[in-house]
Amino acid sequence: MNILILGYGKMGKIIGEIAESRGHSLAAKINIDNRHELDGLDASTIDVAIEFSQPEAAVENISWAMERGIPVVSGTTGWLSRKTEIEKLTADQNGAFFYASNYSIGVNIFFKVNEFLAKLMNETSGYRASLEEIHHTEKKDAPSGTAITLAEGILRNTDKLSEWYLVGQSAENEQSLPIIAKRIDPAPGTHIIRYSSEIDEIEITHTAHSRQGFALGAVLVAEWIQGRKGVLSMDDFLSF
């Protein structure tokens, strides 16, 4: 495949290395400093765009590729209030758009464990749920996209909570799930789900040791998306 990387920061560089190690070529490596080079690319030679940029650039980057018939694999978080725009564009262009808040296979297993535990705890009284995420200081959005996915998984499987909130930005109430966001170097990503009571505490944790798992997952999805259409997710990928 010939891959366009949109967002050539730490993650983009690892994605590029893994892609090349798997026999793929890089059409271009775009970041904020050379974005003007996009218009000089021959879109017909690009098989897929892998987009790991910044929240403020994501929609423009994804739209550029979609409008030129290039499938997009996106992992940028912090822009999802505009996701419906991209979903409409995907339909209008009969394109392929894949989004995941986290491309690690281990994290996606963790998502399933989280939902299963939430179902069990919904039938149990006396426990208060909370979520904590820890990332490196360069991560701009908080809470993380992975934390939001985890929170949504809990909310779908309980009738005790109706929303989540970021601790320090909103007032606590019994119907809200608190998310604590910490920024500590060099942590690539830790997510902790806790259910606390007066007598004990239940905790599940996923800790990433490096960005390799995220990057490999994105390249595997880029390989998989070839020939597919529509708005796709990790559920689609993992079902095959």
Set 24, 36, 83, 139: catalytic member: 139
Whether 13 is catalytic: no
Set 135, 136, 182, 191: catalytic member: 135
Q: Which two three-digit tokens encode residue 109? A: 């297993």
Burial class (CB in 10 A: 0-12, 13-18, 19+), 146: buried
Residue 7: which of 71, 66, 75 has the closest Cα?
75
Q: Half-sphere exposure of 80 toward its Cβ, with a 13 Å CA cutoff?
A: 17
CA distance 56 to 78: 8
Burial class (CB in 10 A: 0-12, 13-18, 19+), 3: buried
Whether 139 is catalytic: yes
The catalytic site residues sit at 135, 139
